[in-house]
Structure 1
C-alpha cells in the first residue's frame, strides 16, 4: 500500500474480532511509531500494551463515548515522558506531545497497512494514568484500541472532508492567493 492510499483509506475502527494481534505484527506497528520524527530527536514516547480485559474495562470507564475500548482485544496506551536534558524547554511549548501524536499517526497507518484497525480515544488522563501506574510528570496522551476489524471498514466520502482551499492561506492567516 502506498502512503497516500493508506492516508486516504484509513478509518477509525471501533468493532474488533476477538483475536489478539500476534507479537510480530504488533512489533511492526510499534516500530513504525519508533521512527516518528521528534524535536531534537528526543523520542519522548513510551507504550503500554494492554491485553488484560479487566484493565481494558477499567480504562474504558474514563474514555468518553468509547465503550468499545472495553470490547477491543487489546490497546496501546501512549505515554509522553518528560525531557530530562538540555532540550527540556520544549515541554513548555507542548512539543513532546505533538511528537507523540505523530508517532500515533505512524502507528495507525502501519496498522492499517497490516490489516489492523485502530481508533484515537480521548481519555481522562489522570484517572487512566492511575490505573496504568504511569509515573508522575509523564503524560497519558491516548489509549488506542487495536485489532482486526469485525466488519469491512467504511470508506471515507469526499463530501465529508473540508475543502482544501478552505484550509490554505498565503503569507499570513486569512490571505488567499490571487
Structure 2
C-alpha cells in the first residue's frame, strides 16, 4: 500500500478479532512511530506497550471512550518526555506526528487501530500516569488500541472541504 492509499483509506477500528499482534508487527509499528518528524529532531517520545488484559480493562474505568480496549490485544501509550525536548513545549506536536505514523503503519500492515485521546483530560492523564507508573516529566498524549480488525472495515469517506482552504488571506 502506498502512502496516499494509506492516508485516504485509513479508518478508526474499534472492534478486534482474537488474533494476536506479533512481536514483528509491534516492532514495525514502533519503528514507524519513531520515524516521525520532531522539532529540532528532539524525538521526545516514549511508548508504553500495554498488553496485560487487567490493565487494558482498567483503562476503560477512567477513560470513557476506551471501550475498544475490551477487545484489543494491546494498546500503545504515546508519551512526551519534557526532559528530552530540544524545542521546549513542542512534545505535543512531536508525539502527535508519531501517533499518526503509528496509525498509518497499522493500516498499511492490515491491522486496525484507533486513537484514544488522553490530553488534555486530567482524569485520563492521571489514570494512565498512575497505571503505568510514569516518571515525573513524562506526559501521556494518546493511547492507540491495536489489533486485527473484526468484520468489514468502514468504507472511505471524502473529507476534503474546499471552503476550508484559504489562500494568502482568510476569506469567507
Same fold judged by TM-score > 0.5?
Answer: yes
Structure 2 gaps, min length 5: 119-123
Alpha-carbon distance between aligned partners in 2 of 1:62 and 1:78, rounded to the nearest angstrom: 17
- Please report the RMSD computed on the Cα atoms of aligned residues, expressed in angstroms: 1.5
Matched, 1:117 2:112: yes
Count, aligned residues: 167
Q: Distance in 2 between matches of 1:168 and 1:61?
A: 40
Report what 1:106 is aligned to.
101
The alignment's TM-score, normalised by the length of structure 2, stands at 0.91
Match of 1:34 in 2: 34
Residue 148, structure 1, aligned to residue 151, structure 2: no
Aligned partner of 1:61 in structure 2 is 61
Could you tell me how far apart the structure 2 residues matched to 1:6 and 1:68 are?
Answer: 22
Change in CA separation of 1:19 and 1:100 when aligned onto 2, cut-off 3 Å: same
Runs of 4+ in 1 over 2 A off after TM superposition: none
Could you report, residue by residue, the CA deviation over 1:15-71 in whole angstroms, capped at 9, with x for unpaired residues? 001222110111111111111000011001111111100000111222223212132
**SS at 1:61's partner residue?**
helix
Matches of 2:63 and 2:155, distance apart in 1: 25
State how far apart, in whole Å, the 2-side matches of 1:24 and 1:65 are.
Answer: 28
- For 2:30 and 2:84, locate their aligned partners in 1 and report how far apart those are by CA, in whole Å: 23
Indicate the structure (1 or 2) with the bigger Cα radius of gyration: 1
Determine whether 1:80 maps to 2:80. yes
Q: Deviations over 1:116-143 (max 9, x none)?
A: 1000102311111111101122110111
Distance 1:84 1:9 in 2: 34
